[in-house]
Structure 1
Amino acid sequence: MRFSRTRGAAAVLAALASVAAAGLPAQAAAAHHDSTLVRTQDGWVRGESTPEGRQFLGIPYAQPPVGQLRWARPRPAGSWDGVRRATDFSNRCVQGASWDPGYQDPTYTEDCLDLNVYAPEGTGSKPVMVWLHGGGLTAGAGSDIVPDAFARQTGTVVVSINYRLGAMGFLAASGLDKEAQDGVSGNYGMLDQQLALRWVRANIGRFGGDASRVTVAGESAGGRSVCTQLASPTARGLFRAGIIESGAYGDCAARTPKTAAAAGAAFAAKLGCSASASASASAAKDTVACLRGKPAQEILAAQSGFDWAPVAGGAFLPQQPATATATGHAAHVPVLNGANKDEGRLFAYGSYDGQGKPLTAAAYPDALKSAFGPATGAKALARYPLSAFPSPTLAYAAAVGDQLMACPALRLDRDLASDGRAPVYAYEFADRTSPPFASIREAGKTFDFGATHVDEVQYLFKHFGLPTPLNAEQHALSRQMVQYWGSFLHGSAPRAAGQPAMRDQRGHPGRTLSLRTASAGGNTISTTVGTEHRCDLWDATAAG
């Protein structure tokens, strides 16, 4: 639920009336004694204290993207009078239902561009991490994680944000191109992220954060977003470092304007707002008006089957991220980048065992050909023989995870390091005993997920606000990972007490920190991650 921008003001002002009468602004006087009362550039907010520190939830950073602002560049939030209560998460942006806790129902609310701030108590200016959530650019919210303990343990301020998703965040169309300043539409979700970063730059000092030491971080689609922001000239100066967790998939590729406009035309037709990608100006304008008149529920129902992703070719993203990185045109900032050892098992489970139809040996060759095409599928069949895996599903999962996540992450390490201007640190989360995330723990209790997609998140934060069921060894690994991430946020090489430091890829190419529990060998520097994931095959395939 959204909260009134003046909610709670009367009670607070009445309580402070005597102070105001003495000649000081009431809120300012109270802020000297109450660290949960903070003035932002738009108005006062009151958060709350927790055993981990302070938290301020549901602060708007942009105007609601409704009406004519649907599919428009986000505009800064307007000011409010009095004190805004900031103790509850805001709405998730428009998205469908999922198994995840609290996400069982879809949401159709477009008024969602808010952020959350977690700030430890105490004085001094602290490094800042801005977290971009995952969810395939079609789902998720800043409330997916609760990083309050992480913020306290690392001595940092953490900000999590919402941004527009799916068709609401990434629709490109001829009529929208004509409205865009650079003639390229379809990047609204990414522009939301940049506006949130600008809010952080303007306001975070009031929460104890250092605006000159901002790291943008994310997992899965959030990591892909970081990869995209690294390549965006309009993001320059908004952060000093980046963390990419399982986000290099597809080499962070964006859509071309032509492909995006064609998809937009097909989407419009699906909603009964027909117009070709090359429609006349008046027809294109009519199409956009028709789309803006559709309820969010219809937009969400129609978006299935389309690729919602950023669009290259304009001022926001002149080049493909991989091209910008390889040619030295990406931001020259330190990067911490990695993936999980068994990324593909989550996706394979969803396609097969989770549907009650485990992949069979007989169907395995065709599954590879369907996933990678006939020629590459045949090569994969030779490199991933069933004899090397406990089941056909896990064999398929290994191929998918290597091609989709593991090898693109290593390629990104090499490309970033080749520029030589900023350090690059590589990790692989390899705790194969890690519990799968909350929504599939019971449903998939007989499936071996290993160290699959998303699993590392719960070692850093409360995932969906839930305590993570870690054993003693996993808790130890969790503490070490928090130290690695925290030291990076503070500007050093990622380190943990008594553990090997992550190596800078510029001087130690191919050396990846493998994050494992003590009984599995502990954290070690590996030089064989690329070989283990058969990256010679997938690198050659990616090169064409």
Structure 2
Amino acid sequence: MIRRVIIGITALAAVLVAPAPAPAESATAQHSALVRTDTGWVRGETTTEGWQFLGIPYAQPPVGGLRWKSPQPVRPWQGVRTAQDFGNRCVQTASWDPGYDRPSHTEDCLDLNVYVPEGVGRRPVMVWLHGGGLTAGAGEDVVPDTFARQTGAVVVTVNYRLGAMGFLATAGLDGEARDGVSGNFGMLDQQAALRWVRANIARFGGDPGRVTIAGESAGGRSVCTQMASPTAKGLYRAGIVESGAYGNCAARTRPTAVAAGAAFAKKVGCAELSTACLRGKSAEEILAAQAGFDWGPVVGGAFLPVQPFEAYAKGAAARVPVLNGANQDEGRMFAFAQFDSTGTPLTAERYPSVVKAVWGADLGERVLQRYPSADYPSPTLAYGTAFGDYLMACPALRLGGVLASRGPVYSYEFADRTSPPFASLRNLGTSFDFGATHVNEVQYLFKHFGLTTPLNAEQRTLSRQMIQYWGSFIRGGVPRAAGQPGMPDRTGPVLSLRTASQGGNTLSTTVHQEHRCDLWDSAVPR
């Protein structure tokens, strides 16, 4: 996760069997793990938490002539398709995350997973878009079966194309640039998954009229982008953005993205931007050549006419409720990865030059004044604090402000500095103080990488409270937890999420000041 998130932010087949005799069409109607989708029957499995259906295709494999094309509808199949194993991960490198010790070179990856709690009736739905810097990760990164049971929601997790496979922009591949498709294939995959949900989720006991899109990091950025996309209109009723407002959710401009696409094509050996040449390259070759490029959505065209913040400010974006926030110590993970993990902790002597290299001489000098290394346990933590405020905390508050004029927006900050580092960091065996760093809140909501996080009694209580907050929002109400303050609407206080011994969940009016957002807001181009 460390490497995949940094790269993204800084650059940042199934067995068919004989047809079954007319089983029940709803998983919840007769407690069946056999469901008929609009393209065929799928057989999931019963778990201690309900039912799960894994690796269901929502679009044709984007291979051959469909590489760098808009996602195409799945062809119907005969018989019953087994849906008890995760599908392939989209093309990506290996990473330090559990289970990601080998790269994936598989393009047949446009699958989703459905988790259904016990009970009957139409359930609210949450569609989770994974993080990983838009270059890594998969829907299987979170297992939300317990979350589904505790909230009473049907949860869907999604794979989508990544890196160059998902975000290559050119002057025109088979005319794909005319309507803003080029460079946005991964985002269009997400919309195709949402259309699958609209068409099929009722068969799993979900309510297609109560869909919340949610995600963390690049998944949160995806939600931020989808809320500004006219072509996503009507596919959801609410959004959850966790640590996803970095860079003000901005997309690449088309000239910048096309220039990068040309440079990538040259690097992979297709200097003339030939469709046949690009589609003739192996996934291994594409993956090797994509390093060093910034991969992400592209503004311009029908998919994303204007930048997300501009769309929000002008009222051109979806007017839906939003739950939005970030973590108190977002930057510590990035600082650790840049310095301490390489055996070169940042020193007081190097601190000024590193700061000015990142933010320039003028802004860098102001950063040094506001974040003097002597005020922190180490220069690495000083840099991590500044970087986290700049990258995540203040953009999240900025997003809350621009969203406040067009509908309910509920603001939180995950501030449990006692939280155990998430699994990728725990596996490193380091004593580095990560605090409430990037990604850490995910393990309080779901089984991160399918693992049970070693939470103590207080942290388990906070986890239950966070699930209640998220659950009440997904069900269509104000985010609330039993015996706890409600999450504030619009601008003003922010709900700070902490364990009881650290002060508990409180409404804070000082988050903006704590993250020195006056400094970072003044540096945003107008």
Superposition RMSD in Å: 1.5
Which residue in the other structure is 1:369 paired with?
Answer: 356
Give the Cα separation in 1 of the matches to 2:457 and 2:291: 42
Measured against aligned partners, the alpha-carbon deviations of 1:378-410 in whole angstroms (never above 9, x if no partner) come to 110110001211000000000000000000000
Which residue in the other structure is 1:49 paired with?
Answer: 46
Measured against aligned partners, the alpha-carbon deviations of 1:53-105 in whole angstroms (never above 9, x if no partner) come to 00000000000000010000000111100000000000000000001111110
Give the Cα separation in 2 of the matches to 1:129 and 1:251: 24
Give the Cα separation in 2 of the matches to 1:228 and 1:447: 34
Give the Cα separation in 1 of the matches to 2:294 and 2:40: 38
> How far did residue 442 of structure 1 move?
3.7
Which residue in the other structure is 1:122 paired with?
Answer: 119
1:173 pairs with 2:205: no
For the residue of structure 2 that corresponds to 1:55, the secondary structure is strand
Measured against aligned partners, the alpha-carbon deviations of 1:453-495 in whole angstroms (never above 9, x if no partner) come to 0000000000000001100000000000000000000111100
Which residue in the other structure is 1:417 paired with?
Answer: 404
Tell me if the contact between 1:175 and 1:288 (Cα under 8 Å) persists in the aligned partners.
no
1:511 pairs with 2:493: yes
Which residue in the other structure is 1:473 paired with?
Answer: 458
Give the Cα separation in 2 of the matches to 1:213 and 1:32: 19
Give the Cα separation in 2 of the matches to 1:444 and 1:325: 43
1:527 pairs with 2:495: no
Change over 3 Å in CA distance of 1:410–1:32 after alignment to 2: closer
The amino acid that maps onto 2:281 is K
Instruction: Please list, as runs of the form range in 1=range in 2, the aligned pairs for 1:174-193 lying within 5 A after superposition.
Output: 174-176=171-173, 178-182=175-179, 185-193=182-190
Which residue in the other structure is 1:39 paired with?
Answer: 36
> How far did residue 377 of structure 1 move?
1.1
For the residue of structure 2 that corresponds to 1:357, the secondary structure is coil
Tell me if the contact between 2:496 and 2:505 (Cα under 8 Å) persists in the aligned partners.
yes
Tell me if the contact between 2:462 and 2:498 (Cα under 8 Å) persists in the aligned partners.
yes
Change over 3 Å in CA distance of 1:123–1:349 after alignment to 2: same
> How far did residue 28 of structure 1 move?
6.1
Tell me if the contact between 1:31 and 1:37 (Cα under 8 Å) persists in the aligned partners.
no
Give the Cα separation in 1 of the matches to 2:178 and 2:171: 13
The amino acid that maps onto 1:387 is A
Q: Please, which of 148, 161, 167 is the counterpart of residue 151 of structure 1?
A: 148
Q: Please, which of 420, 431, 440 is the counterpart of residue 435 of structure 1?
A: 420
Give the stretch that moved more between structures: 320-329 or 252-261. Answer: 320-329
- Percent identity of paired positions between Structure 1 and Structure 2: 70
Instruction: Please list, as runs of the form range in 1=range in 2, the aligned pairs for 1:237-316 lying within 5 A after superposition.
Output: 237-275=234-272, 284=273, 287-316=274-303
Which residue in the other structure is 2:378 paired with?
Answer: 391
> How far did residue 437 of structure 1 move?
1.0
Q: Please, which of 35, 60, 65 is the counterpart of residue 63 of structure 1?
A: 60
Aligned residues: 514
Which residue in the other structure is 1:280 paired with?
Answer: none
Which residue in the other structure is 1:537 paired with?
Answer: 519
1:446 pairs with 2:418: no
Unaligned runs of 5+ in 2: 1-12
The amino acid that maps onto 1:510 is G
Give the Cα separation in 1 of the matches to 2:457 and 2:29: 41
Instruction: Please list, as runs of the form range in 1=range in 2, the aligned pairs for 1:314-393 lying within 5 A after superposition.
Output: 314-393=301-380
Change over 3 Å in CA distance of 1:411–1:177 after alignment to 2: farther
Tell me if the contact between 1:184 and 1:313 (Cα under 8 Å) persists in the aligned partners.
no
Which residue in the other structure is 1:281 paired with?
Answer: none
For the residue of structure 2 that corresponds to 1:38, the secondary structure is strand
Which residue in the other structure is 2:483 paired with?
Answer: 498
> How far did residue 178 of structure 1 move?
2.8
Give the stretch that moved more between structures: 362-371 or 133-142. Answer: 362-371
The amino acid that maps onto 1:224 is R
Tell me if the contact between 1:61 and 1:195 (Cα under 8 Å) persists in the aligned partners.
yes
Give the Cα separation in 2 of the matches to 1:344 and 1:141: 23
Tell me if the contact between 1:499 and 1:523 (Cα under 8 Å) persists in the aligned partners.
yes
1:131 pairs with 2:142: no
Give the Cα separation in 2 of the matches to 1:28 and 1:214: 20
Give the Cα separation in 2 of the matches to 1:325 and 1:54: 38
Measured against aligned partners, the alpha-carbon deviations of 1:196-223 in whole angstroms (never above 9, x if no partner) come to 0000000000000000000000000000
For the residue of structure 2 that corresponds to 1:129, the secondary structure is strand
The amino acid that maps onto 2:444 is Y
Tell me if the contact between 2:112 and 2:159 (Cα under 8 Å) persists in the aligned partners.
yes
Which residue in the other structure is 2:7 paired with?
Answer: none
Give the Cα separation in 2 of the matches to 1:63 and 1:442: 36
Unaligned runs of 5+ in 1: 276-283
Tell me if the contact between 1:187 and 1:311 (Cα under 8 Å) persists in the aligned partners.
yes
Measured against aligned partners, the alpha-carbon deviations of 1:16-71 in whole angstroms (never above 9, x if no partner) come to 6xxx5xxxx36769997551000000000000010000000000000000001000
Which residue in the other structure is 2:14 paired with?
Answer: 3
Give the Cα separation in 2 of the matches to 1:318 and 1:190: 14
> How far did residue 306 of structure 1 move?
0.3
Which residue in the other structure is 1:162 paired with?
Answer: 159
The amino acid that maps onto 2:321 is P
Tell me if the contact between 2:52 and 2:113 (Cα under 8 Å) persists in the aligned partners.
yes
For the residue of structure 2 that corresponds to 1:178, the secondary structure is coil
Give the Cα separation in 1 of the matches to 2:153 and 2:23: 29
Tell me if the contact between 1:186 and 1:311 (Cα under 8 Å) persists in the aligned partners.
yes
Q: Please, which of 429, 444, 447 is the counterpart of residue 459 of structure 1?
A: 444
Tell me if the contact between 1:177 and 1:185 (Cα under 8 Å) persists in the aligned partners.
no
Give the Cα separation in 2 of the matches to 1:259 and 1:221: 20
Q: Please, which of 109, 112, 133 is the counterpart of residue 109 of structure 2?
A: 112
Change over 3 Å in CA distance of 1:214–1:29 after alignment to 2: closer
Measured against aligned partners, the alpha-carbon deviations of 1:285-307 in whole angstroms (never above 9, x if no partner) come to xx222111000000000101000
Change over 3 Å in CA distance of 1:543–1:31 after alignment to 2: closer
Instruction: Please list, as runs of the form range in 1=range in 2, the aligned pairs for 1:186-265 lying within 5 A after superposition.
Output: 186-265=183-262
Give the Cα separation in 2 of the matches to 1:177 and 1:289: 10
Give the stretch that moved more between structures: 323-332 or 143-152. Answer: 323-332
Give the Cα separation in 1 of the matches to 2:76 and 2:356: 55
Change over 3 Å in CA distance of 1:517–1:424 after alignment to 2: same
Tell me if the contact between 1:177 and 1:184 (Cα under 8 Å) persists in the aligned partners.
no
> How far did residue 363 of structure 1 move?
0.5
Tell me if the contact between 2:39 and 2:74 (Cα under 8 Å) persists in the aligned partners.
yes
Tell me if the contact between 2:26 and 2:35 (Cα under 8 Å) persists in the aligned partners.
no
For the residue of structure 2 that corresponds to 1:427, the secondary structure is strand
Measured against aligned partners, the alpha-carbon deviations of 1:243-267 in whole angstroms (never above 9, x if no partner) come to 0000000000101110000000000
Give the Cα separation in 2 of the matches to 1:345 and 1:31: 44
Give the Cα separation in 1 of the matches to 2:354 and 2:507: 34
Change over 3 Å in CA distance of 1:348–1:186 after alignment to 2: same
For the residue of structure 2 that corresponds to 1:174, the secondary structure is coil
For the residue of structure 1 that corresponds to 2:161, the secondary structure is coil
The amino acid that maps onto 1:513 is L
Give the Cα separation in 2 of the matches to 1:517 and 1:185: 46
Change over 3 Å in CA distance of 1:225–1:29 after alignment to 2: closer
> How far did residue 180 of structure 1 move?
3.7
> How far did residue 445 of structure 1 move?
2.5
TM-score normalised according to structure 2 size: 0.96
> How far did residue 175 of structure 1 move?
2.8
